[in-house]
Amino acid sequence: MDSAGRVLDSYQSPIGVYITMEPRLVNLISPSRLGRGRYWLRYEVVTEREDLDPTVVLKAPAVRDSVQVVVP
């Protein structure tokens, strides 16, 4: 999101976790799409999956966080 609250990009992908891990998720945004300024990177990880039967998915609380990014 930019400082005006506009969503500039969105990314959604299923991720499976079978062992303890510290994943690195990458989403590249072209530098030409971002001007100088402050942006918020927000993410949410949830256990709901449309492609799997809900009875076979381990339920867990959603994880949400954000970090501010400054483009000089």
| Tokens linked to 55 | 């009875």
Confidence at residue 27, expressed as pLDDT on a 0 to 100 scale: 66
Confidence at residue 18, expressed as pLDDT on a 0 to 100 scale: 73
Amino acid letter at 28?
L
| Tokens linked to 25 | 């998720």
30/28 Cα distance (integer angstroms): 6
Confidence at residue 21, expressed as pLDDT on a 0 to 100 scale: 67
pTM: 0.60
Q: What are the pLDDT tens digits along the chain (72 aa)?
A: 888 888 888 777 777 767 776 766 666 676 667 788 898 988 888 888 888 888 888 888 988 999 898 888
